[in-house]
Amino acid sequence: MIRDLENKVVWITGAGSGIGQDAAIKLSKLGMKVILSGRNFQALQDTAYKCDKDTMIKPVDISNKKSVRDLIYELKNKIEHIDVLVNCAGINIEKRDWDNIDENEWDQVIQTNINGLFYCCKAVIPFMKDKKDGLIINVSSWSGNHVSLLSGVSYTSSKHALNAMTETINMKYCNLGIRATALCPGEVATAILDKRPKKLSIEQKNKMLQPDDLGQTIAFLCQMPRHVCINELTISPTWHRRYIADLGIEEL
């Protein structure tokens, strides 16, 4: 049975663009009250304009634990509950190979992609424990299950760690009605692709998953009843570049 999302509260990180923005638009159309977070206030405003319901814009750099704590303290004084957390924030770097990766850039990826998402999960779990109900969706990656030099050593490592962290939430809090999903998409045509060392054509991007595909998937996860836990969900484009490479097709 599809869950009614009317007036439930969702906090979305990375809401200024791509997957996070599309998820915000989809969930607002389903009646959810949306809290938009990211580092770019103007981008968050653009997302808010596209949403159906009133939204709350709360800029935050999730890699800064104090900023996350301050935001949660503020939210506790304004809202009674957070029903869903959608962690879409994530970064990658251009120099990502063992031969050229910079230690400081490694730190930035790990600090955002795993530490930052941890800070947000830890912040919302008390809200959910009080209600004995809650959903956390951590947007991971195909690279969270498949080691990939294409994605880079830091990104692949961070997404493997994220998948493991997500499952520990289920192990710890399943008896309290809190469930967590590691959403693992293949290549998605978002701005993060522009960090690739080898740039992609418009034709290639058009064959990939689109933000709308992930927004629809996130809406599906949110509508599952509270007794359902989808621990992990992998979604990929039919034009799968890793499969093409395995077949020896020169289309990369």
Alpha helices (H) along the chain: 18-29, 41-50, 65-76, 103-110, 117-131, 153-173, 202-207, 211-223, 241-246
- pLDDT tens sequence across 225-251: 999 999 999 999 998 877 765 544 444
Distance separating alpha carbons of residues 97 and 247, to the nearest angstrom: 24
* 252 pLDDT tier (thresholds 50, 70, 90): very low
To the nearest whole percent, how much of the chain has pLDDT over 90? 82
Q: Can you give the three-state secondary structure of 205-219, one letter per residue?
A: HHHCECHHHHHHHHH
In the prediction, which pLDDT does 250 show?
A: 45
Indicate whether 215 pLDDT > 90.
yes
pTM for the full predicted model: 0.93
Encoding tokens for residue 31? 């009646």
Domains observed in the chain: 9-246 (3.40.50.720)
Amino acid letter at 21?
A: Q
